[in-house]
Amino acid sequence: MDYGAKIAKDGKAVTSTDPADYEFWSKYKSLSLYSKVTTSISLPAGYTSATSTITHNLGYYPYVWAFANDCGNRYCRLPYGIYLCSDCDTKTTVPYFRLTYKITTTTIVLMINAYCWNGSSGAAFGTTYTFDPVDVFIFSQKIK
């Protein structure tokens, strides 16, 4: 008999026997949420990188998921990269942003870096870009 609660992924049948077809299945261990932090991160005009730090003070490297609402109003999981063609200064230079994060035993550092489509790094643009909200889910499980 198959008892418990199940939440199948979009397009998957709740009768599936493959654990990969589920968002949640009580038959298997799942992550325990320690904390959810909602914040934002901005890259000021003229800058090529910026950071935002969240403190957790757990004393170990926790498992983390982070999601950001980008300038195109998409909610995407980090690490994430986006091209913003609306800010093109030429047909060969397109702003590209990379949102990532670094986990330490006490903090999660959100990072944003600007690049150009033409491959150059450290490209500063004349507009401030803000990614808001950025939702960071900190789980009790250790990754290290």
Taking residues 119-124, report their average pLDDT.
56
**pLDDT at position 119:** 53
CA 129 – CA 84 distance, rounded (Å): 10
Whether 59 contacts 105, CB under 8 Å: yes
The tens digit of pLDDT for each residue in 59-70 reads 999 999 999 886
The CATH number given to whatever domain includes residue 42 is 2.60.40
In one-letter notation, the amino acid at residue 116 is: C
Which residues on neighbouring strands pair with residue 108, listed in sequence order? 54, 103
Q: Do 90 and 134 lie in a common domain? A: yes
Q: Do 23 and 43 lie in a common domain? A: no
Q: Do 92 and 106 lie in a common domain? A: yes
Q: Do 2 and 37 lie in a common domain? A: no
Residue 72's SS3 state is coil
Whether 36 contacts 138, CB under 8 Å: yes
Q: Do 78 and 124 lie in a common domain? A: yes
Q: Do 17 and 35 lie in a common domain? A: no
Q: Do 68 and 110 lie in a common domain? A: yes
Q: Tell me what the pLDDT averaged over the chain comes to.
A: 82
The tens digit of pLDDT for each residue in 1-49 reads 466 888 888 899 999 999 888 878 888 888 889 999 999 998 888 888 9
- Range of 97's domain? 31-142
- If one counts the domains in the chain, the total is 2
Q: Do 55 and 80 lie in a common domain? A: yes
